[in-house]
Structure 1
Amino acid sequence: MPRLEATLDRMREYGIRGSAVTYGTIVKAYGRAGNIDRVLQAWEEMQAEGLEANAVTYGCMLDACVKCGHLEKALHIFAIMKQRGLHRNTILYATLIKGFAKSKDPLAAKNLYREMRSERVPCNVVVFNSLIDACVRACDLQGAGEVLQEMTATNVRPDLITFSTLIKGYCSNGELSKAMRLQEELQARQLECDEIVYNSLLEGCVKAGDLQLGLRMFSEMRQKHVRPSAVTFSILVKVGESMGSR
């Protein structure tokens, strides 16, 4: 972050005092870079300056901590926001749920979802996708399916990411038939499979030993003009090796 560092040095050189917004921007930038040490340093400097964070600045700090994998600090910031009545925000809850998804903690993610409902905070597709991701990462596919049911029951429309995450989970777990049914539902909803979905299905075919279906999936992928990637071809090599060994 040389440009940011240079700008901060110039501000100090001229004795320019940053605002809460300035520090929020700094925290956000270091969060994107994954530099938790700088994130915490900027936050401490802001507090040392006697500046009071607003809702946006708190949001930047919470997001930065989650991006850096520092959930403990993120939850601490969220607790402060609760004390000040600044927490009833869909994006904040979605950010924390994403953090719990990355740490493979679906129980904590679901608890936050329940808290959202009790606080009457609107839930959107990002929240539900993050909940599904948390379940899939923890190999809780039954829980992921229950989240999908809850999602449709609350009239939130599943998107490609919803189906992609579930399909990958089922394929990784060797449940190819369930993944294929989801692909059919995806297409019935007028959504188009992308390279990630096809790669997951191809991997599922290899895992299940259904190589003919794998080849049909690749043929469909080409017919739909979905561009294969290096990952796609690496999976096809596995298909070829499996067929050659028969």
Structure 2
Amino acid sequence: MSGIPSALFVHAHPDDESLWTGGTIAAHIARGGDADLITCTWAPGTVRNVELGDAARELGLSRPPIALGYADSFVPESAPDAPSFIDVQFDDEVAALVGHIRRIRPDIIVTYDAFGIYGHRDHIHTNRLVCAAADAAPLLHYAPGSGDPWQVKSLYFATIPVSVVDELRPFLPEASHLPLVGTPDDQVDLTLDLHEQLGAKIRAITSHRTEMARSASMKGFGSLPRDQQRLFLARESYQRRDLVPGGADLG
């Protein structure tokens, strides 16, 4: 059995796993780590869920992504028979995620920072959901029918350092809806150099063909000059919260 901590990546939408943590996923798997991916929105069978499977394979994930199946809060047709992610009873969402955590039994969970990187309400909601579920999963008295309790060792929150935002800002459209403000560099706990995974990450991002064609933000990132694009894509940064003494190292 590998001595590398196992990791669970939890994201709001298809494409987020590739854009914000794709290099980390690919690097983790390349060094022998085990990883799973949960995506909160877009129901199985929808086009973006299918594209998510393609992206996951490019990153090296050996198991299909798990879809919680809620609707993107801005795109009701992403799950026509399900409620919006942010409208579901929070306790029900926590219980569902706890069940997956107890089954998968990850050492590490990776999600967004508390601002959702750029303020997207689904991202912020995912951060809150992960934090609540990680706290509840080891409790004997919480949802005893959802599996044996499990203690996650560390949470990692994807973020962008202010220094990177300052470098990118002159090249991003002023009308972009992304309020990129960044996390002060001295509050960033880990930055991974992922140049060796850049090819896999780009292939995963471009697997999300629907979003690449639709999203002004994706087009904006895609139009960055080469040096700034590599700065954005080849480094991924995190804040870290240990839930047990010593925690677990990612990368």
Normalising to structure 1: TM-score of the pair? 0.27
Q: Hey, which of these two has a bigger chunk of strand by percent?
A: 2
Higher relative contact order (CA 8 A, sep 6+): 2
> Which entry has the higher C-alpha Rg, 1 or 2?
1
TM-score (norm 2): 0.26
